[in-house]
Structure 1
Amino acid sequence: MPLLRKKSPENGTKTKILRRLGNSEKYQLAMYLLDHYRGTIVSCRYRLPYPFPFILQRKDLINMIHTAIAIAILRNRILQVGVANADSNAPRWVQLESVRLSNHIEFGFFDENDEDISKALDAMIVHELDAKFPELDKRPGWRVIVLWQQGIYFVELIFIFSRFHHDGMSGKVFHQNILEYLNNQNGPNAHHARQFIDGDILKLPKSSLRLPPPIEKVTKFSITPIFAIKTLWQELKPSIFHREASLAKWVPIQSTPSKTNIRTFTIEAPEVLKIRTACREHKTSIAGLLHGLMLASLASHLHEETAKAFKSITAINLRPLIPSSPSFEADQAMANYTTHMSHTFDEELVREMRPTLDLSIEGYPPLPPDALDQVWLVSAQVQREIQRKLDRGMKNDNVRLMRWIPDWKKQISRAARRPRVYSWFVNNVGEVDGRTFGTPWDGGGIQTWNIIRSQFVMSAKVNSAAFVISLVTTKGEELCVSGSWQECVMDDKLAHGVICDLETWLNQIASEEP
């Protein structure tokens, strides 16, 4: 079928229409248009090679970053596209002719005497996470903030993007592209990219590089009638039938304000190894453990009359299940290739856990032994559920049923009038491999760029889980855990208490003798 073309309203030239948005992409776009979800961030700290911290000039850094991002844009077509007819039921990806780099890349420079840029990083993430993406049909839905302090050995690179363009795993792919160029600045990719940079404009070439297909086009899903009926009934049934004890009625849905609160903590590399060892011994993973700890925390902060049971979500990366070919590598694709699954913690389980938690102690005490045992049992159960989901592959997955929703904005608005279903959501994008091998210098440093810290943050979801727990580990370095929630929907003291519990208990697990 020949590709359609339309006139671009901003310059009168013809713009190529690539394809319709897939089912998952349309859902994410509808969430964005309704202000139910704003943005996602994957931020990385790049260690400069010696002696860059002492001799690097601002203009040199700007040129390096511009070229690195240009390479990532040229390599990933999803970074080159806008969305036409976004408000319709048939939005389409359109190929743009160029990208104005200053619309998408911003630099923040600090003098040696300024305060630590870590504070600037935290403030920038809070601000950027909820900022909107203008002119969806004329600009790609992403931007980059670069922070550097003169004389400091690292650069912060914050990648902010819309979820209808791609998922959190794609943020890792983007940073791997950046790191690859920074360590090969005289290679063929760099020379190729510089041909298309004209001052502030990156001209986008006519390319055979294809836009990654939607998930429903790259693999086969199979659905049993019973699963389809049950799932669609849960999604479409009237509010009067939503009576499950696990509903998160303790945090009602409200559409405003569209503001995310964030609290982040890190676990150092030696402790991460100990936690992973403990998880293996208890037949679970760090993501599974976070579910167990979230259950213990909320059960300790909320009384039985308020919350008798809970329900949560895990994000599942489908890339390992997607067939690859010489022309398409799923694990390197920037696309929406994730799904999710839910976990129910029923009244009996929560009733058994609550007596093991001492609700009278002030502050953030360690977990009592009996409570920790319960956490490990819950975590192992969650991991078994995740493994069963992975073993089923593409059978009975919600993604396949999304095609039956003709108007996602109407469906999401309808769902927002019901009780909240999920109390928390755990999304682990895994490990960022930021290591490269360089030549040691006399001072013990290395002569290559490396990623030494990563952070993954998602904005609050108005009608989804009350808490969003986002995890990322930098290989050989620390684990970063970010908790986010919508402002005003719950008591900030409760929200901060839950995240403090996670930090306290993860460190407790790391400190216990094997």
Structure 2
Amino acid sequence: MANKVNHGKEAVVLRKFGINETYQLAMYLLDQYRSTVLSCRYVVPPRLVAESRTQMEKVIKVAVVDTIMRHPMMQVGMIDGTSKTPSWIQLPSLDLAQHIKWIYLGGEDHDDFEQTIQETFRIQLDERFPDLETWAKQPGWKITIIRQGDAPILEVLIAFNHPQFDGAGAKIWHEDFLEILDTATAENGAYKRSGLDGDILRLPEAPPMLPIPIESLKSLPLDPKYFAKSLWEEFRPQFLNRLSRDVSQAAWCPIRTSPYKTQFRAFFMDDGSLSAILGSICADEIQALCRQNKTTITGLLQGLSLIAFSLRLNSTAAPAFQSSTIMDHRRNLPAAPPDAPWGSSNKAVGNYVTQLPHRFETELVARIRCKLPATCNSDEGINLSAELQRELWAVSAQNRLEIVRKVEAGLRNDIVGLFQYVTDWQKTMSNMAKKTRQFSWLVTNVGVLNGSTSEPDDQKWSIDRAQFGLSAEIPAAAIEISPVSVAGRGMCVSADWPDNAVDVTFGERIMADLERWLVQLASQR
């Protein structure tokens, strides 16, 4: 039941933070994480290209308003952020001038457009949201639209504080935003919405229905063996850690808490670039190659990363590895309430991700290293031999199998089940930063974004490409790999790492390896 609290004017407490929200807020407060960004390239219908700047801004603003009303997590503020039990509160209104920003570029130089996008993307990854006092008055998300002249394209970036929602939630937002743009109609030549007066959006007086935290929707069963093993790893005496160090942990990359700076790199595999290099090959055919080898793009990137890290680190620094895959559990949720404005459970903008760890033991890593060339030009890299490709597909298929088993197991023995026993997240995350880093890399794939709401129609909006990125997560994986695809339009693979812990040249070489090998695999089709 909603409770009244005194915070200036009366504020309605909607619910306490869930486990994921509290854990992510603790990272933010400790400056272990800052922001996440999902950017999409929108193609403007010809009927709107010539619209005035003012009219185009109205079209976009009204569509944003409709997404806000569909997804209540975009409507709420927060109180008691530094306590052990922060809460979401109802807001009476939003000042959209604080959440929507336009960047206009003159001229026709497409390079300027691309450079502005990448620069804006990188800046927003490391930007902090307003202070905690402001969080009680506005949500932790912002939208930036970049346009050059009267070009028929817009770049739309949504940057968000992870407690508000996750990367899959941002993907849902873009898909709903696209749908709303396509169905919006002008009334008497003007785009209007009730409750919208200039930049001030008056929110409904009735408390919004928030998506329920994952732990309140599903049980989180822990088998005794899993629970005991997790407790032992967490609390075993330090001298035992020194005597029996787990060589698969990322000791090669010590955790450093400051100074905070994200290094971010990305490459695209779209129809145009792939055709220029590979003839008629397109990203969809990589998917077909994955299917032939019983894996997925996520599994393939895990396998390619294993080879890249084995190549770039020697056996003394890293005899074995651990990595993780970020899992979206919306598929495991019960049906959404009939009156939920977002519709089905898989369309909830909230926090429903956990992680699945993977281990690559010493014997496997040694076998892969034996099949690498004796010498390697660090700048040019290597191609994958037939022997390495056999190892790649075996590892990738095993990774996919682990993911399938996790999907089938649902939330049994999931790390979020352990999280429910944490009573002080800031202390826990502060202590984690003092330990040996566990993961050398992780893969977080928000999946395939639907870039069209209908059959090809040049009078409809569409999405031509997407780019997803995380700010550096200080105690998490050394390098975080974030692919995102647009159906029929190709894929972007990005990576981030903490500048204070990972050498820039090392990170760039890992990314160059991934790009080179994806191109090589595509060329073999």
TM-score tier, shorter chain, comes to: over 0.9
Q: For the residues of structure 2 that align with 1:409 and 1:192, how far apart are their CA atoms?
A: 45
For residue 75 of structure 1, report the CA deviation from its aligned partner: 1.2
Using a 3 Å threshold, how does the CA distance of structure 1 residues 191 and 49 change in structure 2: closer, same or farther? closer
Q: For the residues of structure 2 that align with 1:316 and 1:216, how far apart are their CA atoms?
A: 15
Matching residue's letter, 1:65: I
Q: For the residues of structure 2 that align with 1:221 and 1:332, how far apart are their CA atoms?
A: 22
Matching residue's letter, 1:214: P
Aligned: 1:34 with 2:22: no
Helix, strand or coil at the partner of 2:101: strand
Q: Which residue of 2 aligns with 1:259?
A: 261
Q: For the residues of structure 2 that align with 1:237 and 1:459, how far apart are their CA atoms?
A: 31
Helix, strand or coil at the partner of 1:428: coil
Using a 3 Å threshold, how does the CA distance of structure 1 residues 130 and 61 change in structure 2: closer, same or farther? same
Q: Which residue of 1 aligns with 2:319?
A: 308
For residue 239 of structure 1, report the CA deviation from its aligned partner: 4.3
Q: Which residue of 1 aligns with 2:419?
A: 402
- Contact persistence 1:300–1:359 (CA under 8 A): no
The match for 2:124 among 124, 128, 137 is: 128
Cα distance per residue 1:234-255 (max 9 Å; x no partner) = 2344544441011111110000
For residue 231 of structure 1, report the CA deviation from its aligned partner: 1.8
For residue 298 of structure 1, report the CA deviation from its aligned partner: 0.7
Q: For the residues of structure 2 that align with 1:15 and 1:322, how far apart are their CA atoms?
A: 30
The match for 2:462 among 450, 461, 468 is: 450
For residue 371 of structure 1, report the CA deviation from its aligned partner: 1.1
For residue 191 of structure 1, report the CA deviation from its aligned partner: 9.9
Q: For the residues of structure 1 that align with 2:106 and 2:303, how far apart are their CA atoms?
A: 44
Aligned: 1:373 with 2:390: yes
Q: Which residue of 2 aligns with 1:419?
A: 436
Q: For the residues of structure 1 that align with 2:93 and 2:444, how far apart are their CA atoms?
A: 33
Cα distance per residue 1:190-240 (max 9 Å; x no partner) = 999711111121111123541001001112222211111212332344544
Helix, strand or coil at the partner of 1:194: coil
Q: For the residues of structure 2 that align with 1:178 and 1:143, how far apart are their CA atoms?
A: 14
Helix, strand or coil at the partner of 2:135: coil
Aligned residues between the structures: 502
The match for 1:116 among 112, 118, 121 is: 112
Aligned: 1:296 with 2:307: yes
Matching residue's letter, 1:30: A
Matching residue's letter, 2:362: E
Q: Which residue of 2 aligns with 1:102?
A: 97
Among the aligned pairs, what percent are the same residue?
35
Matching residue's letter, 1:52: L
**Structure 1: gaps of 5 or more residues:** 441-445
Q: Which residue of 2 aligns with 1:22?
A: 18
Aligned: 1:69 with 2:80: no
For residue 283 of structure 1, report the CA deviation from its aligned partner: 0.8
- Contact persistence 1:438–1:447 (CA under 8 A): no
For residue 118 of structure 1, report the CA deviation from its aligned partner: 1.1
Q: For the residues of structure 2 that align with 1:202 and 1:421, how far apart are their CA atoms?
A: 45
Helix, strand or coil at the partner of 2:369: helix
Matching residue's letter, 2:495: G
Using a 3 Å threshold, how does the CA distance of structure 1 residues 193 and 381 change in structure 2: closer, same or farther? farther
Aligned: 1:324 with 2:335: yes
Q: Which residue of 2 aligns with 1:89?
A: 84
Matching residue's letter, 2:249: L
Q: Which residue of 1 aligns with 2:499?
A: 487
- Contact persistence 1:301–1:359 (CA under 8 A): no
Cα distance per residue 1:413-445 (max 9 Å; x no partner) = 1111111110001011111101133785xxxxx
Helix, strand or coil at the partner of 1:210: coil
Using a 3 Å threshold, how does the CA distance of structure 1 residues 191 and 232 change in structure 2: closer, same or farther? farther
Q: Which residue of 2 aligns with 1:4?
A: 3
Matching residue's letter, 1:386: I
- Contact persistence 2:178–2:453 (CA under 8 A): no
Matching residue's letter, 1:476: G
The match for 1:462 among 456, 460, 474 is: 474
Aligned: 1:382 with 2:399: yes
**Structure 2: gaps of 5 or more residues:** 272-280
Q: For the residues of structure 1 that align with 2:331 and 2:192, how far apart are their CA atoms?
A: 30
For residue 51 of structure 1, report the CA deviation from its aligned partner: 4.1
Comparing 165-174 and 193-202, the one that deviates more: 193-202
Using a 3 Å threshold, how does the CA distance of structure 1 residues 237 and 147 change in structure 2: closer, same or farther? farther
Matching residue's letter, 1:472: V
Q: For the residues of structure 1 that align with 2:305 and 2:124, how far apart are their CA atoms?
A: 27
- Contact persistence 1:5–1:15 (CA under 8 A): yes
For residue 56 of structure 1, report the CA deviation from its aligned partner: 2.3
Using a 3 Å threshold, how does the CA distance of structure 1 residues 238 and 175 change in structure 2: closer, same or farther? farther
Taking only aligned residues, the RMSD between alpha carbons, in angstroms, comes to 1.8
Q: Which residue of 1 aligns with 2:371?
A: 356
**Equivalent residues in 2 for 1:262-301, closer than 5 Å:** 262-269=264-271, 270-301=281-312
**Equivalent residues in 2 for 1:163-178, closer than 5 Å:** 163-178=162-177
Q: For the residues of structure 2 that align with 1:239 and 1:422, how far apart are their CA atoms?
A: 19
Helix, strand or coil at the partner of 1:147: strand
Using a 3 Å threshold, how does the CA distance of structure 1 residues 236 and 21 change in structure 2: closer, same or farther? farther
Matching residue's letter, 1:124: T
Comparing 240-249 and 154-163, the one that deviates more: 240-249
Q: For the residues of structure 1 that align with 2:69 and 2:16, how far apart are their CA atoms?
A: 21
Helix, strand or coil at the partner of 2:253: coil
For residue 359 of structure 1, report the CA deviation from its aligned partner: 5.1
Q: Which residue of 2 aligns with 1:434?
A: 451
For residue 367 of structure 1, report the CA deviation from its aligned partner: 1.1
Q: Which residue of 2 aligns with 1:443?
A: none
Q: For the residues of structure 2 that align with 1:210 and 1:344, how far apart are their CA atoms?
A: 40
- Contact persistence 2:78–2:88 (CA under 8 A): yes
| TM-score normalised by L of structure 1 | 0.94
